[in-house]
Amino acid sequence: MLRKKTQPEANNDKILISVKEACELTGLSEKTMRSLMNENCFMVRIGRRTLIDKKKFQKWIDRQS
């Protein structure tokens, strides 16, 4: 019997999330998300990967309200 790798149901335990995950959480397009990342300070580069610091992104969203 093979077991599938299970992904966590909630992304609450992740510190960094991908652009795609942020788009799914917010409903924004990838182009909009990338332009927001360039204008603000929640982007993290690790090698060639571009990730989003979830806590900073959440604080930025809270300030926009």
Domain architecture of the chain: domains with CATH: 15-64 (3.90.105)
Residue 46 reports pLDDT greater than 90: yes
Half-sphere exposure of 29 (CA within 13 A, CB side): 3
Q: Which of the pair, 65 or 37, is modelled with greater confidence?
A: 37
The two three-digit tokens of residue 46, written as one number: 């690790």
pLDDT at 6: 60
With beta carbons less than 8 A apart as the criterion, state whether 55 and 11 touch. Answer: no
